[in-house]
Structure 1
Amino acid sequence: MTAADDNTEATHQRARLLVVDDDPDMLRLLSLRLTGAGYQVTPATSAEAALTQLEIEHPQLVLSDVRLPGRDGLQLFDEIRKNHPTLPVILLTAHGTIPDAVEATSRGVFTYLTKPYDARELLEKIAQALALSAPSASPAKGTDERWRSEIVSRSNRMAELLAEARMVAKSDASVLLRGDSGAGKELLARAIHKASARAAKPFVAVNCGAIPEALLESELFGHMKGAFTDAHANHKGLFQQADGGTLLLDEIGDMPPALQVKLLRVLQERAVRPLGGSQSIEVDVRIISATHRDLDAAMAAGQFREDLYYRLNVVTLNLPSLADRREDIPLLANHFLQRLAGKYGKRLSGFAPEALKALATAPWPGNVRQLFNVVEQVCALSTSPLVPLALVQRALRVPTVEVQTYAQAKQRFERDYLVGLLKLTDGNVADAARLADRNRTEFYRLLQKHELTPGSFKADGAQGSGDPVADERQG
């Protein structure tokens, strides 16, 4: 048995189950078997008795026979669903009532088992249902968990990773975070910063693959007034902004080779020289880098410097994919739902059990980021307090996109449009303004609004002088 299994079993042994059956012998047998498996069991011989016990005991799961005197198991489920919508229900059914049980699963019953049931299968289904509805594990009394407050998790894999991260945070060693896109590398970097002696100083993050190469150097190291046409004032680079704190170099594998050389020099000398500057400025920065790429393959292909790799890779932490920490999915989904409910002005109580089951078993190639996007879609579209299965299935069938306001979408389109024009005209502002049917002054205002530098869009052949100021004046 693994540590994860031990942790899950310990969680389940604290769970209380409400077991409903009008056959005294069957009820006694079920109670003994489940008590032997470590559960607390409350027995009931009718639907009416079960509903009374529900208000007294507050169980984590209901296991009921379909055939009961008076109100049957299906009617009991309907009543439970009305008053306790997220409480999982498992039905035990004879062969003659299978069609009714199948219909019940489409309405929200977690699952059904036929009599005579397999004891091992019953325990497995109960464990699955509890895993989907279990609350977050509480931290040990007296421990300060604020450093990792943004990371929602109860899985053993994440617990081990966070323990390593907390140890690493005590040193000043450079850390390389490896993991798929959307797995939460920036959140882990922030947590390491918060747990370190640098917590009171800035945490600064930059995505090395999202900034054009010509702008990245200025962003990282800064520039002096007059270093190029749009440099109207001295600009502190991210290294200086993070002085005393932590700098996250996200997607470090996408950093251009020429900049890798300059970054290595900064790490060796612990000083930066801004563009257009004549003196180096000392900086005290802890470096955390992150990538989803295979850097070993990139080094073999000559795309990533080996000396820089070993400088950055003092300690490596590997983030598991969401598929490797499935027990965290219900916890994350409900966390995101409550967070987003306020944004959309909705009163949402949670997910229907079958909707949560669909989320927990989905493939999630986009990891936590994809889960967030799916939850945002269902939150925006839900018309009932309990998110239904149909809405989750709809969100999972279509490619997930980031939900934006009209203003945000317009801003993104405008920036992408300007970038396209500058690429098309090799950074020539007059030509780009003409194509946009705007005067040059107005076009410059748009570029400043989106922090776009025309000179960075020059074609390679047009950069013969090597002087960014002279090159940009030619545009």
Structure 2
Amino acid sequence: MAAPPARILIVDDDADMLRLLALRLSAAGYAVVAAESAEAALAQLDLVHPQLVLSDVRLPGRDGLALFDEVRARHPALPVILLTAHGNIPDAVEATARGVFTYLTKPYDGKELLGKVAQALALSAPCAPQAQANEDWRAGIVSRSSRMHDLLTEAYMVAQSDASVLLLGDSGSGKEMLARAIHRASPRARRPFVAINCAAIPEALLESELFGHVKGAFTGAQGPSKGLFQAAEGGTLLLDEIGDMPPALQVKLLRVLQERALRPLGAVKSIPINVRIVSATHHDLESALATAQFREDLYYRLNVVTLVLPPLAERREDIALLANHFLDQLARKYDKRLSGFAPEALKALALAAWPGNVRQLYNVVEQVCALSTTPLVPLPLVQRALRTPSTPVLSLAQARQRFERDYLVGLLRMTDGNVTDAARLAQRNRTEFYRLLQRHALAPENFKNDPADDDTVAAGRQD
């Protein structure tokens, strides 16, 4: 059964704008609830349970910023997008710093609006539970991205055969988890799954670890020991980081794969084995072949089917799902009552670089889970875990532009929007000063404090 459409609460006192927004969002497949004031929107909030609020900044009575504050107090995880005229951009920027998901200026671009709406809904969407029993084979692999869907479809097909599989992908991208999923989907699912990291064990011990040894095979061998090939009998053996296997051991592994039998260290007789091999690496094995660091014959033995895991940065639509999934798991582990991430915190996660991929995301979520003192994980904790500055680092050009705009805003506020006085204080002529105001989309009338002027502006404004 298809999921119900996302419900969006739109707020604007301009009836024509409200109707246009409703038509555009309804045509995009969303369920729309309209309100003409902040008070009407708050009355609807707990009745319709929207997944997103889209509000004009300028509203009669309580404005859009006050509405945002009330929405945040009642429903901290509910994203809010503001629509604003150019003259109200400073207020909108301040609201974004306080937690508004984003703002759009009027007249807005239709594609940009739908893009921001989809992004906000994706970031706030809860992780959907595994609904079907036949999806148990991929339990723990949380994804909605098309790339992962295609990869998992191929992995399930490969699992039905007994072909060797080579998993390629950056460190932390989930290669071992995919190997386990392939094992669970295969006819060998009831037999053992055994994993070994070829880079983590010294060369002198790796042969014994893989193939086992007999008593007295080397100093300290007090008795016989089965290797991991025998431990995985009938099941699947994952050779993780196969690209780091020493060349001498590559020869012995090739012989085992060719003969389907192994001889433990120090033994005389070979032992037949029945094991499926899945190997994984973050190295470029084809480059290793060119430099003779990896045997070509072994490569083709292991590489019957290749599956490539995308880095987390190339499946950003999965970040919010994974973060909420991990938070749910870790909240139970730490016995903490956590309901999710603040919208700005989830946005920071979605935009991060993630060089460490899913493993790094898990570590970040574990850190914020351990340190969070509120039900909703705040932005500063996420920034701390990501080791990112709490304020963005601007380029020199951006810093100059921001300073110039703030300077002009200060002058207009000081002079109550009087351009002649402001230009004189800036030591610029009126024409040049007007050009500066136009460059920064500043309207002097929005800075007039005279009540009569305010009434005039309010009556004639176009939101």
TM-score by length of 2: 0.81
The 2-side partners of 1:272 and 1:26 are apart by 75
1:75 paired with 2:66, answer yes
Alignment RMSD? 1.7
Question: CA offsets, 1:399-448, max 9 Å, x none?
Answer: 9xxxxxxxxxxxxxxxxxxxxxxxxxxxxxxxxxxxxxxxxxxxxxxxxx
1:294 paired with 2:271, answer no
Query: For 1:192, what is the secondary structure of its paired residue?
Result: helix
Letter in 2 for 1:341: A
Q: Contact 1:14 / 1:40 at 8 angstroms: preserved in 2? A: yes
The 1-side partners of 2:39 and 2:178 are apart by 49
The 2-side partners of 1:339 and 1:136 are apart by 12
How do 1:118-157 residues align onto structure 2 when only pairs under 5 Å count?
118-136=109-127, 144-157=134-147
1:268 shift after superposition? 0.9
Letter in 1 for 2:157: M
The 2-side partners of 1:56 and 1:358 are apart by 30
The 1-side partners of 2:126 and 2:387 are apart by 28
Q: Alignment partner for residue 50 of structure 2, among 46, 59, 68? A: 59
Identify the residue that residue 221 of structure 1 maps to in structure 2: 211
Q: Which has the larger radius of gyration?
A: 2
The 2-side partners of 1:142 and 1:131 are apart by 22
1:142 shift after superposition? 5.4
Identify the residue that residue 435 of structure 1 maps to in structure 2: none
Letter in 2 for 1:113: L
Q: Alignment partner for residue 372 of structure 1, among 362, 386, 405? A: 362
Identify the residue that residue 339 of structure 1 maps to in structure 2: 329
Distance 1:168 1:31, change over 3 A: same
Identify the residue that residue 312 of structure 2 maps to in structure 1: 322
Q: Contact 1:108 / 1:354 at 8 angstroms: preserved in 2? A: yes
The 1-side partners of 2:260 and 2:186 are apart by 20
Letter in 2 for 1:130: L
The 2-side partners of 1:59 and 1:238 are apart by 53
The 2-side partners of 1:273 and 1:192 are apart by 28
Distance 1:398 1:227, change over 3 A: farther
Identify the residue that residue 248 of structure 2 maps to in structure 1: 258
Q: Alignment partner for residue 111 of structure 1, among 79, 87, 102? A: 102
The 2-side partners of 1:216 and 1:393 are apart by 40
1:324 shift after superposition? 0.8
Question: CA offsets, 1:88-140, max 9 Å, x none?
Answer: 1001122333222211111110001122222222112112111212244576x
1:32 shift after superposition? 1.2
Q: Alignment partner for residue 164 of structure 1, among 154, 160, 164? A: 154
The 2-side partners of 1:164 and 1:17 are apart by 36
Distance 1:137 1:73, change over 3 A: same
What stretches of structure 1 move > 6 A for 4+ residues in a row?
none
1:300 shift after superposition? 0.8
Q: Where do 5+ consecutive residues of structure 2 fail to align?
A: 390-463
The 1-side partners of 2:363 and 2:44 are apart by 39
Query: For 1:145, what is the secondary structure of its paired residue?
Result: helix
Letter in 2 for 1:324: E
1:199 paired with 2:192, answer no
1:361 paired with 2:332, answer no
Query: For 2:194, what is the secondary structure of its paired residue?
Result: strand
Q: Alignment partner for residue 99 of structure 1, among 90, 104, 108? A: 90
Give % identity. 77
Letter in 2 for 1:20: V
Identify the residue that residue 311 of structure 1 maps to in structure 2: 301
Query: For 2:141, what is the secondary structure of its paired residue?
Result: coil
Q: Alignment partner for residue 231 of structure 1, among 209, 218, 221? A: 221
Moved more, 95-104 or 206-215: 95-104
Question: CA offsets, 1:253-272, max 9 Å, x none?
Answer: 00000000000111111111
Letter in 2 for 1:44: A
Identify the residue that residue 21 of structure 2 maps to in structure 1: 30
Q: Contact 1:136 / 1:153 at 8 angstroms: preserved in 2? A: no
Q: Contact 1:136 / 1:154 at 8 angstroms: preserved in 2? A: no
Question: CA offsets, 1:263-282, max 9 Å, x none?
Answer: 01111111111112111111
Moved more, 175-184 or 365-374: 365-374
Q: Where do 5+ consecutive residues of structure 1 fail to align?
A: 1-9, 400-475
Q: Contact 2:250 / 2:295 at 8 angstroms: preserved in 1? A: yes
The 2-side partners of 1:120 and 1:283 are apart by 59
Aligned residues between the structures = 388
The 1-side partners of 2:50 and 2:14 are apart by 21
Question: CA offsets, 1:287-306, max 9 Å, x none?
Answer: 00001111111011011111
